[in-house]
Amino acid sequence: MQNERLIFLTNDDGYMSKGFRAAIEVARSFGHVIAIAPDRVQSGMSQAITISTPLFLRQVESTDDVEIYSFSGTPVDCVKVAFDHFLQERKIDLVLSGINHGSNAAVNVMYSGTMGAAIEGSFYGIPAVGLSLDDHSAEADFEAAVEYGRRIVAAVLDAAATLPRPLCLNVNVPAIPLGEIQGIKPCRQTKGFWREDFYRRQDPHGRDYFWLTGKFNNAEPDAEDSDEWALAHGYVAVVPVQVDMTDYRMLSALPDILP
């Protein structure tokens, strides 16, 4: 249909993930879906791009309302090849990235390939939503994420003409049954950082290798306006994301200390 919306879909868990299939169910409610997603898991890639190796695009599925392609690059590569090549002449109404297996609340937004892709999509002046479920399991239950994903996407599309750009929302859904969710809570990013543990082992050839684990340290567990608090209390956390990383407090102090 000539006036049908076009929804671009990607993720960082790969086109075979259960969360990606759930995202298709969200996206197809609003128009024709073109999905370009990594051909393998690309979690933790943030804004990474591929500049030293060739990239390969392959169609894996096509129906009347959904076209799915796998791409050998990162999540941001998927966005770039869509907007700057594959869909260059077409009007895209929304970028949806996800549904991620695992929360992208707090500082996770900095590491996430799912959010890297959503942020990249917003650079093109298109409303973008990164959608995540606070459950890393490959067989996670995405019912609540699909339901609230639809509600939030519908609201963004309805208000798109009046909202400022760039527009990118970081949406995180708690891993609880749909009926137990308390609602949607606009909030801010929680202050805190990951602290890593590196487990050192040896392979059969006697070479040392390291396995990374870690724990998030919440610097403000009682802050009721934060995304971590919202998730912990059964709310869908919605954080509007900006890309200006200037520290304005430090900017005002620098003239007093620099020569």
pLDDT for residue 49: 97
Nearest alpha carbon to residue 18 among 123, 102, 121, 93: 102
Domains of the chain: 6-191+222-243 (3.40.1210.10)
pLDDT for residue 42: 96
pLDDT for residue 3: 66
Which one-letter DSSP state was computed for residue 112? -
> What is the pTM assigned to this prediction?
0.94
User: Does residue 97 sit in helix, strand or coil?
Assistant: strand
9-to-44, 122, 223, 251, 257 alpha-carbon distances in Å:
18, 13, 33, 37, 47
pLDDT for residue 142: 98
- Strand-pairing partners, residue 110, are none
Single-letter amino acid code for the residue at 166: P
Phi, psi torsion values for 151, nearest 5 degrees: -65, -45
pLDDT by 10s per residue, the chain, length 259:
456 899 999 999 999 999 999 999 999 999 999 999 999 999 999 999 999 999 999 999 999 999 999 999 999 999 999 999 999 989 999 999 999 999 999 999 999 999 999 999 999 999 999 999 999 999 999 999 999 999 999 999 999 999 999 999 999 999 999 999 999 999 999 999 988 889 899 999 999 999 988 889 999 999 999 999 999 999 999 999 999 999 999 999 999 999 9
pLDDT for residue 196: 86
Strand runs (DSSP E) across the chain, as ranges? 6-10, 32-38, 57-62, 66-71, 94-101, 128-133, 168-173, 183-186, 192-202, 208-218, 235-240
> Could you tell me if residue 74 is left (phi over 0), alpha (psi between -120 and 50 degrees) or otherwise beta?
beta
